[in-house]
Amino acid sequence: MERKQESGFKEKVYDIIFEADTPWGKFFDVSLLIIILLSVLVVMLETVGPIQERYQNLFFVLEWVFTIIFTIEYILRLYCVYKPMKYATSFFGIVDLLAILPTYLSLFIYGTHYLVVIRALRLLRVFRIFKLGHFIKESKIITDALKASRAKITVFLFSVLLLVVIIGSIMYLIEGGQPESGFSSIPRSVYWAIVTLTTVGYGDIAPQTEIGQFFAAVVMIMGYAIIAVPTGIVSAEMVQSARAEALNTHCCQHCSREGHDNDAKFCKYCGAELRWAMEDETLPS
- Residue 248 beta carbon to a copy of itself: minimum distance, rounded to whole angstroms: 11
CA distance 33 to 128: 9
Number of residues that bind a copy of itself (CB under 8 A): 113
3 binds a copy of itself, rule: CB under 8 A? no
114 binds a copy of itself, rule: CB under 8 A? yes
166 binds a copy of itself, rule: CB under 8 A? yes
Alpha-carbon dihedral 57, 63, 65, 69, rounded to 10 degrees:
180
Residue whose CB is less far from a copy of itself, 65 or 123: 123
- Residue 77 beta carbon to a copy of itself: minimum distance, rounded to whole angstroms: 21
Tell me the torsion sign for CA atoms 235, 237, 238, 243: positive
CA distance 49 to 52: 5
Q: State the binding string over 116-155 for a copy of itself (x if CB under 8 A, else -).
A: -x--xx-xx-xx--x---xx--xx-xx--xx----xxxxx
CA–CA distances in Å: residue 75 to residues 69, 88, 101, 114:
10, 10, 13, 25
Residue whose CB is less far from a copy of itself, 13 or 173: 173
CA distance 11 to 5: 10
- Residue 3 beta carbon to a copy of itself: minimum distance, rounded to whole angstroms: 41
Footprint (CB under 8 A) of a copy of itself, residues 212-271? 213-214, 216-217, 220-221, 223-225, 227-243, 246, 251, 256-271
Of 19-27, 87-95, 99-107, 111-119: span binding a copy of itself (CB under 8 A) = 111-119
| Burial 14-49, CB ≥16 within 10 A → b, else e | bbbbbebeeeebeebbeebeebbeebbebbeebeee
Footprint (CB under 8 A) of a copy of itself, residues 43-62? 43-45, 47-49
SS3 272: coil
